[in-house]
Amino acid sequence: MSERASSITSPTETDDPPTGEQHADESATTQDSRAESDTEQEPVTTGAQSVIRALENAGVEYAFGVQGGAIMPVYDALYDSDIYHVTMAHEQGAAHAADAYGIVSGEPGICLATSGPGATNLVTGIADADMDSDPMLALTGQVPREFVGNDAFQETDTTGVTTPITKDNTFSDDPDTVGSDVSEAFALAREGRPGPTLVDLPKDVTKADTDHEPDDPKVPDTYEVQERADPEIVEQAARRIENSSKPALLLGGGVIKGEASEACREFAIEHEIPVITTMPGIGSFPEDHELSMEMAGMHGTGYANMAVTHCDTLIGIGTRFDDRLTGGIETFAPDAELIHVDIDPAEISKNIHADYPLIGDAETVVTQLAEEMETSPQATKWRAQCQQWKSDYSMAYAAPEDRPVQPEFVVEALDEATSDRAVVTTGVGQHQMWACQYWTYTEPRTWVSSHGLGTMGYGLPSAIGARIAADDDQEVVCIDGDGSFLMTLQGLSVAVRENLDITVVVLNNEYIGMVRQWQDAFFEGRHAASEYNWMPEFDKLAEAFGAQGFRIDEYDEVADTIEAAIDYDGPSVIDAHIDPQANVYPMVPSGGDNGQFALAEDQL
Amino acid sequence: MSGGLDGPAPEERPTPKGRRTAQGIRVDPEVEAQHDPRRTVISALVEHEPGVLSDVSGLFSRRQFNIESLTVGPTEDEDRARITLVVEEPDPGIEQIKKQLRKLVPVVSVQELEPDAMRRELALVKVNAMRPDRVAAVADMFDGKTVDATPETATIEITGSDQKIDSAIEAFGQFGIREISRTGTTALARGMTDTAREAPPEESAQNEPTQPQQPHADDD
Ligand SMILES: Cc1ncc(C[n+]2csc(CCOP(=O)(O)OP(=O)(O)O)c2C)c(N)n1
Nearest-neighbour CA in chain B from A140: distance (Å): 18
List of chain A residues whose C-beta atoms are within 8 Å of the C-beta of residue B6 = 394, 396, 599
Is there a contact between B24 and A159 if contact means CB atoms under 8 Å apart? no
Per residue in B3-58, pLDDT tens? Answer: 689 999 999 999 998 999 888 998 876 555 667 899 999 999 999 998 899 999 99
The residues spanned by each domain of chain B are: 38-112, 118-187
Q: So what's the pLDDT on residue B22? A: 87
Q: So what's the pLDDT on residue A295? A: 98
Nearest-neighbour CA in chain B from A42: distance (Å): 33
φ and ψ at residue A127, rounded to 5 degrees: -60, -40
- Relative to the CA of A431, which ligand 1 atom is closest? 21
**Residues near B74 by Cβ (< 8 Å), separated by ≥ 6?**
B48, B80, B81, B82
CATH number of B38-112: 3.30.70.260
Strands B118-128 and B177-182: antiparallel
For chain A, residues with pLDDT lower than 50 are 1-38
List of chain A residues whose C-beta atoms are within 8 Å of the C-beta of residue B213 = 230, 232-233, 357, 359
Is there a contact between A581 and B99 if contact means CB atoms under 8 Å apart? no
Active-site residue set of A: 91, 153-154, 203, 514
- In A307-370, which ranges are E strands? 313-317, 337-342, 356-359
Grouping H, G, I as helix, E, B as strand and the rest as coil, residue A576 is: strand
Per residue in A118-177, pLDDT tens? Answer: 999 999 999 999 999 999 999 999 999 999 999 999 999 999 999 999 999 999 999 999
Give the best residue of A166, A169, A222 to mutate against chain B (max B CB count within 10 A). Answer: A222
Cα-based distances in Å from A247 to A268, A359, A466, B21: 10, 20, 35, 22
Q: So what's the pLDDT on residue B50? A: 85
**Residues near A149 by Cβ (< 8 Å), separated by ≥ 6?**
none
Task: Kindly state which CATH superfamily the domain B118-187 is placed in.
Answer: ACT-like. Chain A, domain 2 (3.30.70.1150)
Q: How many CB pairs under 8 A join A and B?
A: 158
Q: How far is the centre of ligand 1, averaged over its atoms, from the C-alpha of A432 (Å)?
A: 10
Residues in chain B: 220
Q: Distance (Å, rounded) from C-alpha A513 to C-alpha A585?
A: 13
Q: Could you tell me if the CB of A517 is within 6 A of ligand 1?
A: no
* Cβ atoms of A572 and A503 closer than 8 Å: yes
Domains of chain A from N-terminus onward: 3-207 (3.40.50.970), 231-392 (3.40.50.1220), 407-585 (3.40.50.970)
Q: How far is the centre of ligand 1, averaged over its atoms, from the C-alpha of A455 (Å)?
A: 8
Q: Could you tell me if the CB of A377 is within 6 A of ligand 1?
A: no
* Beta carbons within 10 angstroms of residue B145's beta carbon: 12
Nearest-neighbour CA in chain A from B33: distance (Å): 12
Of B1, B14, B50, the CB nearest to A583: B1
Q: Distance (Å, rounded) from C-alpha B80 to C-alpha B82?
A: 7
Q: Which residue of B has its CA nearest to A169?
A: B105
Q: What is the pLDDT along chain B (220 residues), one digit of tens a residue?
A: 566 899 999 999 999 989 998 889 988 765 556 678 999 999 999 999 988 999 999 999 999 999 999 999 999 999 999 999 999 999 999 999 999 999 999 999 999 999 999 999 999 999 999 899 999 999 999 999 999 999 999 999 999 999 999 999 999 999 999 999 999 999 999 999 999 888 765 444 444 444 333 333 333 3
Q: Could you tell me if the CB of A481 is within 6 A of ligand 1?
A: yes
List of chain A residues whose C-beta atoms are within 8 Å of the C-beta of residue B45 = none
φ and ψ at residue A17, rounded to 5 degrees: -65, 145
Q: So what's the pLDDT on residue B199? A: 74
Q: Distance (Å, rounded) from C-alpha B45 to C-alpha A395?
A: 53
Is there a contact between A222 and B20 if contact means CB atoms under 8 Å apart? no
Nearest-neighbour CA in chain B from A395: distance (Å): 7
ipTM of the complex: 0.82
Stretch (H or E) spanning A461: helix A459-469
Domains B38-112 and B118-187 agree in fold? yes
Give the best residue of B105, B208, B210, B211 to mutate against chain A (max A CB count within 10 A). Answer: B105
Edge-to-edge strand list for the sheet holding A168-171: A84-87, A62-65, A109-113, A136-142, A196-202, A168-171
* Cβ atoms of A403 and A299 closer than 8 Å: no
List of chain A residues whose C-beta atoms are within 8 Å of the C-beta of residue B7 = 302, 392-394, 599
How far is Cα of residue A485 from the mean position of the Cα atoms in its chain?
Answer: 17
Q: Could you tell me if the CB of A511 is within 6 A of ligand 1?
A: yes
Task: Give chain B as a 3 state SS string.
Answer: CECCCCCCCHHHCCCCCCCECCCCCECCCCCCCCCCCEEEEEEEEEECCCCHHHHHHHHHHHCCCCEEEEEEEECCCCCEEEEEEEEEECHHHHHHHHHHHHHCCCEEEEEECCCCCEEEEEEEEEEECCCHHHHHHHHHHCCCEEEEECCCEEEEEEEECHHHHHHHHHHHHHHCEEEEEECCCEEECCCCCCCCCCCCCCCCHHHCCCCCCCCCCCCC
Query: Which residue owns the Cα nearest ligand 1 atom 13?
Result: A512
Largest interatomic CA distance in chain A: 72
Q: Distance (Å, rounded) from C-alpha A549 to C-alpha A543?
A: 6
* Cβ atoms of A585 and A598 closer than 8 Å: yes
Is there a contact between B21 and A335 if contact means CB atoms under 8 Å apart? no
Q: Could you tell me if the CB of A509 is within 6 A of ligand 1?
A: yes
Q: How far is the centre of ligand 1, averaged over its atoms, from the C-alpha of A475 (Å)?
A: 25
Nearest-neighbour CA in chain B from A239: distance (Å): 17
Q: How far is the centre of ligand 1, averaged over its atoms, from the C-alpha of A460 (Å)?
A: 14
Query: Which residue owns the Cα nearest ligand 1 atom 4?
Result: A456
Query: Which residue owns the Cα nearest ligand 1 atom 3?
Result: A456
Q: Could you tell me if the CB of A128 is within 6 A of ligand 1?
A: no
Q: How far is the centre of ligand 1, averaged over its atoms, from the C-alpha of A431 (Å)?
A: 9
- Relative to the CA of A485, which ligand 1 atom is closest? 15
Angle, helices A302-310/A380-392, rounded to nearest 10 degrees: 150
What ranges in A358-429 are assigned the alpha helix state H?
362-372, 380-392, 407-417
List of chain A residues whose C-beta atoms are within 8 Å of the C-beta of residue B95 = 349
